[in-house]
Amino acid sequence: MANAAQVQRMSRLMIKTLRDDPADAETASHKLLVRAGYVRRSSAGIWTWLPLGKKVLENVSRVVREEMDAIGGQEVLLPALLPKEPYETSGRWEEYGDLLFRLKDRKGADYLLGPTHEEIFTLTVKDQCTSYKDLPVILYQIQIKYRDEARPRSGVLRGREFHMKDSYSFDTTDEGLAQSYALHREAYEKIFQRLGLDYRIVSAVSGAMGGSASEEFLAPASAGEDTFVDCPSCDYAANTEAVTVKVEPADGSAHGPLEELDTPDTPTIESLAEFLGVPASATLKNLLVKVDGEIVAVGVPGNREVDLGKLGEHLAPATVELVTAEDFVDRPDLVRGYVGPQGLAGKAFRYLADPRVAPGTAWVTGANKEGVHAKNVVCGRDFEVDEYLDVVVVEPGDPCPKCGTGLKIDRAIEIGHIFQLGRKYADAFELDVLGQNGKPARVTMGSYGIGVSRAVAALAEQTHDDKGLCWPREIAPADVHVVAAGKAKQTELALEIGDLLGDAGLRVLVDDRAGVSPGVKFTDAELLGVPTIVVAGRRAGEGVVEVKDRRTGEREELTVEEAVARLSA
Ligand code: ATP
Ligand code: MG
C-alpha cells in the first residue's frame, strides 16, 4: 500500500508558481523561493513558509538537530517574548539600540522579542545546575528570532523574524570550554557538508561580545553581505572585519630632518600627491573623530580608507562620530585639512593609527598651518602613536598576516557563528556551581548560532541555475518529482509510479494537475528544483517513463520497474 504521507499530489497542494520575478527582489534566492511558491512575503523582512518551503526548512532543522544531538546537545525551547530585566543586567537592553523589538504588556511592563538568548540560557542553567557534576552542559533550541534590521532585504537571507539554531555551552574550566567549542566546530562542519553548502571557516571579530575565540562559517555567494579574505598560499581565512596587520618597525635613522613645504591648493590627498610628485601611499591622512565627545585622530596612509564600522567596533561601547565644522571653532590648534600628528599626538588629541604607520616610517602630512604640509615626518621621532588599530578597509592584494602573500577578497553569506564567550554572562548573572574543591566555581560559556532560514536561502543561492532551484537531495522537499505529461493514461501511470516510489521509502511529488499543459508542468518541475524528475509521457502506454537529473539534465528512458529499482537503490 502506498505510504500516503510520502506521496504529495500537486492537485491537492497549495501552490501557485509565478513566471515573473517579484518587483523588489534582487537576489536569486529571493526571486526563486517566491516564484516557486516556497515562501510568501508577509511584511518587510517577515515571511510565511508555504508547504514546500516548510519542508525544506524542516529538512535543514532535522540535519541541525541530528548533529547537535550527536555532540550531546539537549534540545529545549525558550520563549521568544522576554522580560526586560535580564537584558538590563547584561547591558544589552541599551546596547542593542534600534535592533531590538521592544513592547509593553497591559500593566506597562517592558518586554522584548529575543534577538539571541545568552541571558535567558544563563538564568536557566543558574536555576537547574548546582554542582560541577551537572556540567558540562550543551543546550540548544531551534527558534524564531527577532531583530529590527535596518535593511531587511534579500528575502529570507536577512529577515526581521528568522529561524535560528542557537546553542550555549556551560563548563567550569577553560579547557572544557575549548572542548565544547571544538565539538560545535566539528558538528557545524558535518551540518554544512550534509546540507550540501560550500562553506569556509574564517576568523571573526570578537568585538563587543568580549570573548576570545570566534569563527564564522561563510557560504561564498555574490548575494552575501559579508566579505572575507582567503590566502592563496596558506590556510589563513578571515572576515575582512577581522584581518589584522602587523606593526613592523622600520629603520628611521636614514630620513632627513622634518621640512615644511608650501602646498597651495592641495586640499585633497590626490592633489597633494600630484603637487609633490609622491604616491598617495607616502602621505599620512589624519581623520578626526569624536569618541564619546572627545576629539581623537586616526592616522592611515593616504591611499587607504578608514572603515568607520570597524573603528566603532574597536572603540565600543564608546560612540564614534565624525567631527563637524563647529568642532573646530574652539580649536585653533586643529587646522582643518592640514592636521599632522607632530606636536599634537598625545597632547591635542589621542592618536590612533593603522599599523602601517609603524615606528621609523616617514610621511608627508599636514603641518598644522593653512596651505602647508610637512615631509620627513617620522613616526617615533616626530610623533608617537598612542594605539595601533586595524581600521583600514582591507583591499585585494593586502599581505596575508600569516605568510605575506597577496590576499583575495570574496563575498559570502554568514551561515553560522561560533563563539567562546568566556565568563561575561556568568559574571553578569553570578552563575556559579559548587566546584570540586567545595568552593563556588564561576561557569564559562560558549554561544553558537546557525541561521536555519538563512541556510535555505544560502543553498538556493549556491545551487540554483537559470531554470530555477536545484536542491541537494537531503534538503529537497521531495526526492522525485513525477510529471504526468498528457491525459488519463499518463496521469494513471504517474500516480502508479508515485505510489511505488513512495512504497520504496522515497518522498514523491506527483504533478497530476488536470488542465495544466505538459510545458507548464516541465517549467514548474525545473523551477521547484526536486533532484530527480520522472516524466510519464509519450510512451506511457508501454509503461516507459523518462528519468531526468534536474542538475545535469541527463535523461534516460526506463520501464517503470527499472525506474523504481534505480531510484530506490
Ligand atoms: P549579520 O552579521 O548577518 O547581521 P550576526 O553576526 O548579527 O549576523 P549572529 O548574532 O552571529 O548574527 O547570529 C547567528 C546566525 O544567525 C548568523 O550566523 C546568521 O546565520 C543568522 N542570522 C543573523 N541575523 C539574521 C537575519 N536577520 N536573518 C536571517 N538570519 C540571520
Ligand atoms: Mg555573527
pLDDT digits (tens, 9 = 90+) for 125-174: 999 999 999 999 999 999 999 999 999 889 999 999 999 999 999 999 99
The 3-state secondary structure of 105-137 reads: CCCCCEEEECCCCHHHHHHHHHHHCCEHHHCCE
Pairing of strands 480-484, 444-451: unpaired
* Atom number, ligand 1, closest to the C-alpha of residue 158: 28
State if residue 449 touches ligand 1 by the CB under 6 angstroms criterion.
yes
**Model confidence at 548, in pLDDT bands (50, 70, 90)?**
very high
pLDDT at residue 312 tops 60? yes
Q: Which of 146-150, 248-252, 363-367, 528-532 has the lowest mean pLDDT?
A: 248-252
* 317 prior amide bond cis, ω within 30: yes
Q: Which of 39, 64, 164 to mutate to test the pocket of ligand 1 (most atoms within 8 A of CB)?
A: 164
pLDDT at position 208, please?
45
State if residue 206 touches ligand 1 by the CB under 6 angstroms criterion.
no
Predicted TM-score (pTM) of this structure:
0.89
pLDDT at position 5, please?
58
Superfamily of domain 28-243+408-461: Bira Bifunctional Protein; Domain 2 (3.30.930.10)
Q: How far is the CA of 213 from the centre of ligand 2 (A)?
A: 13
State if residue 117 touches ligand 1 by the CB under 6 angstroms criterion.
no
- Residue bearing cell 554561544: 447
Give 90-136 pLDDT, tens digit per residue. 999 999 999 999 999 999 999 999 999 999 999 999 999 999 999 99
Fold (topology level) of 478-568: Rossmann fold (3.40.50)
pLDDT at residue 210 tops 60? no
The DSSP H or E segment spanning 29 is helix 28-35
pLDDT at residue 68 tops 60? yes
State if residue 142 touches ligand 1 by the CB under 6 angstroms criterion.
no
* Atom number, ligand 1, closest to the C-alpha of residue 225: 3
The DSSP letter of residue 407 is P
- Residue 508: C-alpha distances to residues 8, 151, 362, 434, 559 (Å): 6, 38, 70, 54, 18
Residue with the nearest Cα to atom 28 of ligand 1? 158
Q: Which of 313, 414, 452 to mutate to test the pocket of ligand 1 (most atoms within 8 A of CB)?
A: 414
In the chain, what are the domain boundaries? 28-243+408-461, 252-388, 478-568
Superfamily of domain 252-388: YbaK/aminoacyl-tRNA synthetase-associated domain (3.90.960.10)
DSSP E strand boundaries for 272-389: 284-291, 294-301, 320-322, 350-353, 362-369, 372-378, 387-388
State if residue 415 touches ligand 1 by the CB under 6 angstroms criterion.
yes
CA dihedral 497, 502, 505, 511 (to 10 degrees): 90
Q: How far is the CA of 450 from the centre of ligand 2 (A)?
A: 9
Q: How far is the CA of 191 from the centre of ligand 1 (A)?
A: 17
- Residue 11: C-alpha distances to residues 7, 513, 516, 538 (Å): 12, 5, 10, 21
Q: Which of 215, 415, 421, 454 to mutate to test the pocket of ligand 1 (most atoms within 8 A of CB)?
A: 454
State if residue 162 touches ligand 1 by the CB under 6 angstroms criterion.
yes
**Model confidence at 264, in pLDDT bands (50, 70, 90)?**
confident
Q: Which of 239, 417, 453 to mutate to test the pocket of ligand 1 (most atoms within 8 A of CB)?
A: 417
Stretch 171-187: mean pLDDT: 97
- Among 34, 318, 245, residue whose Cα is nearest residue 155: 34
Q: How far is the CA of 417 from the centre of ligand 1 (A)?
A: 8
Stretch 273-289: mean pLDDT: 93
State if residue 454 touches ligand 1 by the CB under 6 angstroms criterion.
yes
Distance CA 227, CA 530 (A): 31
Residue with the nearest Cα to atom 23 of ligand 1? 451
Query: What are the residues whose beta carbon lies below 5 Å from ligand 2 (ion)?
Result: 417
Residue with the nearest Cα to atom 25 of ligand 1? 158
pLDDT at residue 420 tops 90? yes
